[in-house]
Structure 1
Amino acid sequence: MRPLSADDPREIGPYRLSALLGAGGMGRVYLGTGPDGGVAAVKAVRAEYAYDPGFRGRFARELELAGRVRGDFTPRVLAADPAGTPPWMATEYVAGPTLHDLVRETGPLPEAAVRFLARGTAAALDRVHGLGTVHRDLKPGNVMVSASGPQVIDFGVARALEDDGDEEVLVAGTPGYMAPEQVDGGGATAATDVFALGGVLVYAFTGTGPFGDGHPAAVVFRISHQEPVLGGVPEGLRGLVAACLARDPADRPSAARVLAELGGPV
């Protein structure tokens, strides 16, 4: 959390902004206070997307789906305006770091903690898949760690960034957590989310993704041509994580199956 700069807005929609929570490829996220005094994470879209009518349409469609994703492990969408200047969305504020930052600061997590993380994340994915949509960009930076458990954020954001025209579809995802079919230009499915879940669990155990670090092109090459590195995953979970990271989507378990293998809902 950082103080606002001179270039940051002081208000977005009905929210009064007080701090910068983070920034990414899509935009910047602020801590906002609503008219009722409640706090929210307010994401403002970057200017290059804000003036793209195609993006605004996709953003509106994905917001409608994201608004239906409710549960213990997904922050609720509180308000949004895809037609605003800039387009924005506000979700429940999660008081805690991302899994990426937590592991980077404290080191790999113990098995009991990762099992709890896996159950919550799998439950969130199962709920989303049941609505007929997918996350498309699950990664350690999109899993928040709170006192009440993992919180999966940014449902629908990756889809809004895709070009859905007739000639080209841009692949949305993060190198290191993209499934082989995404790397090859295929569409995202529930199975690609499960692949990413396997990668997230490897990161939680080891501090690196299943295909290592380095230049994105090198990581993508390993995804397409090499097997994941699972040496740091405890024996009791290695088989399940390996199944999530199967090269063939048909060989991966569903999120519901992963949840069942871990003992069911928390």
Structure 2
Amino acid sequence: MDSLSSVSVALSDIEGQIKDIFRALSNGYQKLEKMKDSNRQSRLLEELTGKMKECKRLIKDFDREIKEEESRNPPDTNRLLNEKKQSMIKELNSYVALRKTYANSLENKRVDLFDAGGGGGDVFAKENVQLASSMTNQQLVDSGNRMMDDTDQVIERSKKVVEDTINVGADTAAALKAQTEQMSRIVNELDSIHFSIKKASQLVKEIGRQVATDRCILALLFLIVCGVIAIIIVKLVHPGNKDIRDIPGLGPPALARKLLWDLN
């Protein structure tokens, strides 16, 4: 470890981040093993896939830093750094293999294709998952790159689905907003119509009351006119009738005027 005393701060920092991710992956797969709900397993597996993608990027940064500092470091340091890089790649590949195993298992659960007696699933797993201990360093690197490329493609497809979902959600939100505004305008128009109907009803009532009052006045006037006409007719027909003289409203007959010298 004395040969690694000249390692740069950048390499140490990258190595620390990779170790943190490996610890998170280890804890995550332990939790994944204990989970029974397929939906929770799928969500956790997506989170672990994102961490593996980040780890792949950090390993590439680590390799780039090694190449940049190769001329400044002694051969033993470069050898130890390359061995450390290969160890990181090997550990990451093991997590990638676990991810594929769990992904296949979840897929089999979704389509309900378990075959307890045939053992076809075991053969499929053996064909797709190669033990890391039986592979050379170059094979580990190539296999890890292929697996991580597959993971990147899956992540990109997932991102595309998320983007499409976000776009659909935005369109739906815009449509709901437009419908809400339209409903608000309709409610305002209904309020205006209700107010107009109420005012019209009050106006009709006022007109009705006024018409009723006018009718009462006209009826009263008609009765008065009829009474006056009847009195006049009776007066003309029976001028000597005393009862007619006593009718209220009619004045007594005028007295004959006599001159003063007639009295004398």
| TM-score, scaled relative to structure 1 | 0.29
CA radius of gyration, larger in: 2
Structure with the largest fraction of helix: 2
Q: Which is richer in strand?
A: 1
